[in-house]
Amino acid sequence: MADITAGTSPRALTVHGTVRGAVERGVAVFRGIPYAAEPVGALRFRAPAPPEPWTGARETVAYGPTAPKRPYAPPLDRLLPDPAVPGDGCLNLNVWTPSPGRGTTGLPVLVWIHGGSLVHGSSAVPVYDGSAFARDGVVLVSVNYRLGVEGFGVLPDAPANRGLLDQLAALEWVRDNIAAFGGDPDRVTVAGESAGAVSVAALLASPRSAGLLRRAVLQSGAPAALPPAAARGTTELIAKRLGVPATAAALAAVAPEALLTAQTEVTGGGNPLTGRHSFQLVVDGELLPHDPVEALHAGASAGIDLLMGTNTEEYRLWFVPGGLTERIGALRLRLALLKFRVPGATARVYRANRPGAAPGEILGALATDLLLRVPLNRLADARTGAPGATYLYEFGWPTPVQRLGACHALELGFVFDTLAHPDTMALTGPDAPQELADAMHRAWVDFATDGDPGWPSWDARRPVTVFGPGAPELVLAPRDDELRGWRPYRR
């Protein structure tokens, strides 16, 4: 257990050395603890290696370096602040643990894996401050991992899914060290949003995660991975722009800034719903021996309790700020329906349920469900009768900011109970309902603590707790007429 008798400088002894943190808002916080060696030099494009041990007490008050990345492109940069911390040691994590005076042990642990399309984000985003979880008796750990081509580029002379290997190394660090911070290594919940949720789903599908977690949370992200041949195109285009072979040996000789510039040029201009060159997890035959969708439907991690859900209007974060909603007309909608093989009857149901909606709004609703809501419902159905319980939620409170509605990422400030932070307000506005944050945050705390967020687990009734607008409400089979239009939902 951490030495918490040292006033404002709590200490903990990890397997690599002692760390010294601080007490903030009544809880102890340790930032920038290395869980792996700096991924530079001979370790660039390699699997994570253990960090070098240190002597004395290492100061862990400030956030550690973030992975090389660029800010979100306008106008998303104003809605999703994404701080960058310089330095090479990006494989670090942060720990918030209940206040020093409690002296408790065996606490539940929640490990947070950030989103950002595998090219943005970090554990230093203020929205992810873990103080409220520690205040409520949960040890919160937030993790940095390699992004972009360094973390997820597909290369013939380097291990695949390096960013996912980083996350696995962080979970192993939690197993070996979290007791020193008051946490129970046998009560670990791993949670993520967007690309973080895709990562969590992949970890659940990987045999190497066995014994590292008891519960998981998927927020606005569904299981997904590609064969290496289908995923390497982005890496090859980046290498082509740089005029080098698409190998780890060649890219390792490229300066990080030049690599980032080429990466941004190749991946910019799209979004997770409309597409564009992007980075994806790959079925590598080792860490991911099988497609995560197939593995999870076949029973992988069937004993793990699972909480998952989506926001009602995920698409509005990408469609609305840049005016895409207005630019999509009836013809473009028809072409998209053909491209994605959306049955005509399904599209008619969505139109009927949204009288007066513009074609862009209809397409956004269809895309949200095709990519997120339908896969998560299918996963819940596949887990029916499994030893691990399954719970579904929907976040429906609409932000007044820029007509974004209940868009992607909006729930984060509610889950972390950080509505008062200016970076959270960039998306929520200044008057987001604290009572809804109280309810949503409490559900995540309760799930991490005992596996029950406070509503019935998934069964034939299809129970979903909807968080807003208004008070949380349990709804049975919400918009089931729409789900039935997607095969195999036609019951």
Single out the catalytic residue among 194, 220, 278, 301: 194
- Average pLDDT over every residue of 292-297: 98
Single out the catalytic residue among 16, 114, 120, 408: 408
Per-residue pLDDT at 286: 94
Single out the catalytic residue among 314, 394, 411, 482: 314
Gyration radius (Cα) of the chain, Å: 22
Per-residue pLDDT at 104: 76
Taking the CB of residue 71, how many other CB atoms lie within 10 A of it? 14
Distance CA 363, CA 45 (A): 38
Show me where the domains of the chain are located. Answer: 11-483
User: Sorting pLDDT into bands at 50, 70 and 90, what band is 269?
Assistant: confident
How high is the mean pLDDT of the chain?
94
DSSP per position, 159-192:
-S-HHHHHHHHHHHHHHHHGGGGTEEEEEEEEEE
Sheet bearing 305-311, strands edge to edge: 22-24, 27-34, 92-97, 139-143, 107-113, 183-193, 215-219, 305-311, 390-395, 463-467, 473-476
- Average pLDDT over every residue of 381-386: 96
Distance CA 119, CA 122 (A): 10
pTM: 0.96
Lowest-confidence region among 7-16, 141-150, 315-324: 7-16
CATH of 11-483, one of 3.40.50.300, 1.20.1260.10, 3.40.50.1820, 3.40.30.10: 3.40.50.1820
Per-residue pLDDT at 276: 73
Whether residue 452 is predicted with pLDDT greater than 70 in this model: the reply is yes
Per-residue pLDDT at 491: 31
Which tops the pLDDT comparison, 398 or 487? Answer: 398
Taking the CB of residue 152, how many other CB atoms lie within 10 A of it? 25
Per-residue pLDDT at 490: 36
Which one, of 454, 453, 415, 414, lies nearest residue 434 by Cα?
A: 414
- Average pLDDT over every residue of 264-281: 82
Q: What are the pLDDT digits (tens) for 211-266?
A: 999 999 999 999 999 999 999 999 999 999 999 999 999 999 999 999 999 999 99
Q: Is 408 a catalytic residue?
A: yes
Hey, what are 363's tokens?
């397409």
Per-residue pLDDT at 7: 53
DSSP per position, 302-350:
TTSEEEEEEETTTTHHHHTTTTHHHH--HHHHHHHHHHTT--HHHHHHH
